[in-house]
Amino acid sequence: MLTLSKQAVNLYVDRNAQRWIVRDAYGNFWLLPLGENPWDRREPFLPTEETDLEPIPGHYKSIVGLPFDMT
C-alpha cells in the first residue's frame, strides 16, 4: 500500500525586518530572498527576540512561489 504524506509549510512576514519567512513541517525557519524562485534560494533563519513574525494566510504562498503542500 502506498502512503502519501503532506508536509505543510507556513508563511510569515517579519514586520521588523520586512522579510518573508517560512516554517517547514520540521519546524525549521527559512528566509526567502527577493527575486525569482525564492524557495530554491532560501537561507536558514533563526528567530531572535526582535523577530516579529505575523502569520500570512495560505493563499498568499503562490505569490512568493511556495507550494501549498510539499510531498
Closest Cα to residue 23, out of 4, 52, 44?
44
Q: What is the pLDDT of residues 13-63, one digit of tens each?
A: 998 888 999 999 899 999 999 888 888 899 999 999 989 999 998 777 777
Domain that holds residue 21: 10-64
Predicted TM-score (pTM) above 0.85: no
Residue 5 lies in a domain: no
Rounded to an integer, the average pLDDT of 4-13 is 73
pLDDT for 71 beyond 90: no
Residue 25 lies in a domain: yes
Between CA 14 and CA 19 the distance in angstroms is 5
Residue 4 lies in a domain: no
Residue 42 lies in a domain: yes
Domain count, the chain: 1
